Amino acid sequence: MFSKSETRALIISILVISFALGFDDKSPVFVWGHWIQNFLAVALMVTVSFVIHQLGHKIVARKNGFETEYSSWGIQSFKLSTKALMGRTINKPFPRVIRIFGKQFTINAFPIGIVLSLLVTLISNGKIFFLAIGQYNLLIKKTARVGRKYIEVTNVEEAKIALAGPLASIVLMVIGKLFNSHGIFDIFILVNAALALFHMIPLPNLAGIKVYFGSRILYVTSLVFMVSMIVLVYTVSVVPMLIISAISAVIAFLLYYYYRYLS
pLDDT tens-digit readout, 191-215: 999 999 999 999 988 999 999 999 9
* Per-residue pLDDT at 117: 95
Q: Where are the domains of the chain?
A: 75-110
Higher pLDDT, 263 or 111: 111
* Per-residue pLDDT at 105: 63
Mean pLDDT along residues 35-52: 95
* Per-residue pLDDT at 146: 62
Residue 143 has pLDDT above 50, yes or no: yes
* Per-residue pLDDT at 85: 46
The tens digit of pLDDT for each residue in 47-68 reads 999 999 999 999 999 988 888 9
pLDDT bracket for residue 152 (50, 70, 90): confident
Share of the chain above pLDDT 70, in %: 84
Q: Are 226 and 170 in contact (CB under 8 A)?
A: yes
The tens digit of pLDDT for each residue in 66-121 reads 889 999 888 766 555 545 445 555 555 666 666 666 676 666 678 889 999 999 99
Share of the chain above pLDDT 90, in %: 60
The tens digit of pLDDT for each residue in 216-240 reads 999 999 999 999 999 999 889 999 9
Q: Which of 190, 182, 191, 174 is nearest to 242 (CA)?
A: 174
Tell me the backbone φ, ψ of residue 166, rounded to 5 degrees.
Answer: -55, -40
| Average pLDDT of the chain, as a whole number | 87
Higher pLDDT, 162 or 150: 162
